[in-house]
Amino acid sequence: MQTKFTETFGVRFPIVQGGMGGVAGPDLVAAVANAGGLGILPIWLVSPENARELIKRTQALTNKPFAVNLRSDLEQVRLIETAAEAGITLFNLFWGDPSSSMPAIEACGGRLIATVGDLGAAKQAIEAGASALIAQGVEAGGHVLGEALRDQLVTELAAENFDVTIIAAGGLATADHVAHVISLGADAALLGTRFVVARESIAHPVYKNAIIAAEAGSTVRTSCFDGMWPNAPHRVLKNSTYEVWDAAGCQSEGLRPGEGNSILIYPDGSSFPRYSAMTPRVGMQGEIEASALYAGMGVGEIVEQQTAAEIIAELTSKL
């Protein structure tokens, strides 16, 4: 199926794999690209040297286009330049006004894909020069800036007839969901949580199994896991850390149950404490279940681990 998205970005299917720190590494992004979707490689949390390495590893696995994911609220010009030097032309920016990064993107002839949570942010991104908008509804897993429901946001943006591509995100998990958002006027569907359980994702197996076991209603948008990233609402599975924190009155830092405990531990002994925003990834040990298990409201319909190619084939089966 051709849409404005497939034509604009030169990919086969209107399916995007969301940028996900700690989940989407070169294997997943390349597998999505090779299967005809657009993969997004997060580089906002690494050094320019590591970003170059991640991009090169992805390029070694695919000759198809993919995007990199950066934060709008952080100074990321060096990362943009590094990615551009490595041949990247698609830049997905999230968390706020992307305008300060636009000169660096334009300088390399790149295109901006801006993640937005409301109409005001959409207008700001278009003003900055965005080619595409990811309309992220409040149903989304991970950090969620806006409060609008996905379908309302997509409908609102589609009605504006902006000269940009609209990508719907948040709580999508099935082929019916994908067909539905396209019928509302989206040009593509972005999925995050569904790709957390892809075989190629680097999410920890305990985390993947928690998503597969979760039912509708198992997620919450909260401020519980704010270590390293305060004042940033996020949607996670309600796990033991969340339940105990919630029962104790949702206290802030310094007053939270079990606050000092290291719960994610790397083989080299470095660790992250309870309430850290860190995603549990393969190779970590400790209380994986008690860490930030980011997940969107579509979890109830995610029932098995599959390859990225199988996921994309299934998601596009009703288009």
Ligand X SMILES: Cc1cc2nc3c(=O)[nH]c(=O)nc-3n(C[C@H](O)[C@H](O)[C@H](O)COP(=O)(O)O)c2cc1C
Binding site for ligand X (CB under 6 A): 18-21, 23, 42, 69, 94, 115, 136, 139-142, 169-172, 190-193, 196, 279, 294-296, 298
* Six-digit token string for 164: 């940009």
Q: CB 248 → ligand X: shortest distance, Å?
A: 25
Of 309, 213, 228, the closest CA to residue 275 belongs to 228
Q: CB 190 → ligand X: shortest distance, Å?
A: 6
Strands (E), 24-153: 38-42, 67-71, 90-94, 111-116, 132-136, 142-143
Of 138, 185, 187, the closest CA to residue 298 belongs to 138
Q: CB 292 → ligand X: shortest distance, Å?
A: 8
In the complex with ligand X, the residue whose CB is nearer, 59 or 136, is 136
Q: Regarding beta strands 188-191 and 262-265, do their DSSP bridges make them parallel or antiparallel, or are they unpaired?
A: unpaired
In the complex with ligand X, the residue whose CB is nearer, 59 or 115, is 115
In the complex with ligand X, the residue whose CB is nearer, 66 or 94, is 94
Q: 110 φ, ψ to 5°?
A: -85, 170
Instruction: Tell me how far apart the alpha carbons of residues 256 and 222 are, in angstroms, rounded to a whole number.
Output: 14
Instruction: Tell me how far apart the alpha carbons of residues 135 and 281 are, in angstroms, rounded to a whole number.
Output: 27
Three-class DSSP category at 116: strand
147 within 8 A of 121, measured Cβ to Cβ:
no
Three-class DSSP category at 213: helix
Distances (CA, A) of 26 to 22, 59, 168, 202, 271: 11, 8, 23, 9, 24
In the complex with ligand X, the residue whose CB is nearer, 98 or 298, is 298
Q: CB 255 → ligand X: shortest distance, Å?
A: 27
Instruction: Tell me how far apart the alpha carbons of residues 213 and 149 are, in angstroms, rounded to a whole number.
Output: 25
In eight-state DSSP terms, residue 292 is: -
In the complex with ligand X, the residue whose CB is nearer, 135 or 164, is 135
Q: CB 219 → ligand X: shortest distance, Å?
A: 9
In the complex with ligand X, the residue whose CB is nearer, 152 or 257, is 152
Q: CB 249 → ligand X: shortest distance, Å?
A: 27
Q: CB 244 → ligand X: shortest distance, Å?
A: 22
In the complex with ligand X, the residue whose CB is nearer, 257 or 319, is 319
Instruction: Tell me how far apart the alpha carbons of residues 127 and 132 are, in angstroms, rounded to a whole number.
Output: 12
